Structure 1
Amino acid sequence: MRLTLLRMTLLCAGIALGVGCRTRASIAIWTPPTLQSAVGKRVAVAKVVGPEKIAKKIQQQLIASAPTDDGRELDLVDSQTLQQKSAVRLVAATEDESSDVALASVARREGYDYLLRGEVLPERTHGARPADPDKLTISWRLTAIDGHSASGGKPVVVEREAAVKRYPDLALIIDPDEQMVAAAVRDSYRLLSPSLDHETVSLAAPMLTLGKSDVLRGNAAARRGDWQQATEYWTKAAEEHPMQAAATHNLALAAAASQDFSRAKQLARKAVRQYPIPMYQRTSVWIERTQRQYHKAFNLPDPPEGWFVTRR
């Protein structure tokens, strides 16, 4: 009985100090390329081999939709365009594949850094069952033309249901092949350039404390994806009630959502000082790890304030 009463007392104390139930929200974070960064580099794309119907579309979309925004830009060119620039005809090694040696030679002369080769792999069948139309696998190989930079390969496996969850706008594409090709191209760019991932974070939701209503309104806005409005509510709560630790904690996450990691770390450390509970401490570590990932994704130097709670 005494133990139960003690637990209830501690729970009530926690609620009174500003931490109650939690709520979840999605936050977009930048992640490094999963194969090799080709940002700012020139990449020659060999003919994608495999079933012509899919392979040709993948190559065309890959070239046409190369990222152009700062920090992600790629310069891609296909083998046919390179051949037009060269007096040397690329001799076919097979019916579907140009000679990589000849293509690499032309690309080197034209100042390209990498050769990217792709192959659409057939899905395995089981007995008389046809291949899965909702799954697409592409094997990519990135080769440094100068022979000194890093090279490597990695498959991209696209499953329709998971792809639509990751890229909701794909649901608007009617043609199933076009839908799979679009997903495959986006996933392929994740090999070479920074990409956005969505991660779920825990927002503090205070109970029986001053400023509670504004914090909860901010939480509702963040769950809708409106981090700007959420920040306004949490800022109001924190300014009017300086010891509102939940508001401070959530403001730290909002700053991380806008990639202002220096401010995010400052706010997270403040929340821990206001109320040193494990949730706030974990958030402080998560923010710094996310900042490290962001710096790695865009090849940035260490922040001026340095690192506080993590090590390489």
Structure 2
Amino acid sequence: MRTVLITGATGTVSSALMDALDGTGPHLRALVRDAATATGLHKRGAEVVVGDLDDARSLPPAFEGVQDVWLLTPNGPRAPEHGMNAMWAARRAGVERVVRLSVVGAAHDAPNRSGRLHALSDREAEHCGMRWTILRPHWFMQNLLNEAGDIASTGAFSLNMGSARIGMIDARDIAECAARVLLDDPGRHHGETYTLTGPRSLTFDEVADQLGRVLGRPVTHVPVSDDAKRKTLLGYGVPAWIIDMLEEYARAYDSGWGDFTTRTVADLLGRPPRGIADFARDHAAAFTPSGD
């Protein structure tokens, strides 16, 4: 039985990945910084280990006896260091394969710092000496859940991406693609970089229309300025570095940078990716006022 180490284990994609891998054969080992956050992981049948990608000395026990690593590092200025710590621990432990979650458009000349930082980690994966696969997903539909409170209470949501058209993807499809790679023979996807998108490139006005159709009431997208969005996010306590990064993405998307789709999800999964209507139906409760 192969052991898969899941990093970022309590996050959106990694949680969905553990759901996708549940009962498929591999032994799941979940890396967490705080054991107190691991209740749900135990329920999924995962072995929980404590370690911190920020502390290289904490990692060797987590990687011992592991064949496959799902490597997800949170966005931040030290993301390449955190990825490096994981890759070094993996190499020293004799890990056979790393499947890394990158970002759409990762490149040394990407128009956003997240893409440039991820490009550094992608390059390290490519030269790590292990089998490797890189997944580069587009904008997550689950990001809309950040707007769910406003949609539920006012029927409107505000973003600073103008008339951007984006090939957005459901995070569950990202997770299922990762599961497919991890369940296949280790050599099958070695050396591949997969860009993952949804089925259609959409504006947020179109997203609002689809949400409204599913919810049975009007939903409106209200474009706002970068400064207005920054003020809102600062009020929620979002770190300034993250806000700057999101602004860079917003400007890139507004310029048309995200207006594309690929067939990769369908090729990997043998079915079309979920559309925004599928996402809206499955998460309708989040966008509905309490008591309705």
Q: TM-score range by the shorter chain?
A: under 0.3
Greater Rg over alpha carbons, structure: 1
User: TM-score, length-normalised on structure 2?
Assistant: 0.27
By relative contact order (CA 8 Å, sep 6+), the higher-ranking structure is 1
User: TM-score, length-normalised on structure 1?
Assistant: 0.25
